[in-house]
Amino acid sequence: MTTTTRPSGDLDTICVNTIRTLAIDAVEKANSGRPGTPMGMAPVGYQLWQRELRFDPADPIWPNRDRFVLSEGHASVLLYALLHLAQVTAVNPAYETVGRASVTLDDIKTFRELGSRCPGHPEYRWTSGVEATTGPLGQGVANSVGMAIASRCQADRYNKPGFELFDFDVYALMGDGCMMEGISDEAASLAGHLGLSKLCWIYDNNHVTIEGNTALAFSEDVGAVFSGYGWNVTRVADANNLGSLSKAFQIFRDEAERPTLVIVDSHIGYGPRTSSTPAPPTASRWGQRR
Ligand SMILES: Cc1ncc(C[n+]2csc(CCOP(=O)(O)OP(=O)(O)O)c2C)c(N)n1
Ligand SMILES: [Mg+2]
């Protein structure tokens, strides 16, 4: 007789922690890669893919699907975990359904290996469900502006009263590095000018980049800058608060004139308890007190 051990905690917490542990295991197996950002952003990915995005895992090329762009491409394993857990099906480069999962558990086990469906950075038309190739910081958010322009163009061209064929939203997840890149500001300026209200950037404000604390090189008031670009700016003080995330995404959808920036405060590597990393005071770890 086999027994199944069910992890403790509510279902949302189990799902979020499953994303975290997939990220940890993939990076450990590859002996390469970055689990910290997927762990910090796991609740954001979960909230988006479970509750916010309109998409059909069985039809990943539905033209009116909401788009998700992982601009912080170094966190690729977050996207692979989401594609796997959402059971997105695969299409080939010609966009034909091929009857298998986009990302299997075995694919995740080959993370960062040559020929893997889970390369170090996400590749468009290599892993289906990946909407844009990312890695060069800033590139994904810039791509997302083009996608939001496409959403409006297709709506203008094809929608008729009572027949709304196109109204898809575009979400892009970015980090401090994306925010520092000039291309992001140019793209944000254009998005604000055009009033691309179908566009939502989510800024992983974890105050750390490769070189250390962002205080070393980055101190601009991001909210003020984006307000100046004509964006709607909102804030989530704790990435683990799914209710706050939900409200922020509702604020985005209620906005009809401007693109939205959601500034999310997070902790890189959130989750495991070690003797050198005390629990943040604002939230219990792993969703439960220990
Ligand atoms: C244009 C560009 N420059 C440099 C890099 C190398 N790089 C990869 S991740 C990273 C730091 C990213 O920091 P952040 O976006 O804050 O991500 P986090 O460390 O918080 O996950 C850098 C500099 C890159 N990918 N693209
Ligand atoms: Mg950062």
Closest Cα to atom 18 of ligand 1: 209
Ranges of each domain in the chain: 11-270
The pLDDT score that the predictor gives to residue 286 is 31
Largest CA distance in the chain: 64
**Closest approach atom of ligand 1 to CA 136:** 26
Q: Verify whether ligand 1 is closer than 6 Å to residue 242 (CB atom).
A: no
Ligand 1, pocket-test mutation among 137, 207, 216, most atoms within 8 A of CB: 137
Q: Verify whether ligand 1 is closer than 6 Å to residue 38 (CB atom).
A: no
CB 145 within 8 A of CB 190: yes
Q: What ligand is nearest to the CA atom of residue 34?
A: 1
**Beta pairing class for 89-91 and 97-101:** antiparallel
Closest Cα to atom 26 of ligand 1: 136
The pLDDT score that the predictor gives to residue 273 is 65
**What CATH architecture does domain 11-270 belong to?**
3-Layer(aba) Sandwich (3.40)
Q: Verify whether ligand 1 is closer than 6 Å to residue 129 (CB atom).
A: no
Distance (Å, whole) CA 106 – CA 152: 38
**Closest approach atom of ligand 1 to CA 73:** 25
Which stretches in the chain have pLDDT values below 50? Answer: 1, 275, 278-290
pLDDT in tens, 175-232: 999 999 999 999 999 999 999 999 999 999 999 999 899 999 999 999 999 999 999 9
The pLDDT score that the predictor gives to residue 93 is 74
CB 19 within 8 A of CB 85: yes
- Listed in sequence order, the residues at least 6 apart from 223 whose beta carbon sits closer than 8 Å to its beta carbon are 233, 235, 261, 263
**Closest approach atom of ligand 1 to CA 210:** 11
CB 46 within 8 A of CB 68: no
- CA angle at 200 for the pair 215 and 76, rounded to the nearest 5°: 65
The pLDDT score that the predictor gives to residue 5 is 61
Q: What ligand is nearest to the CA atom of residue 37?
A: 1
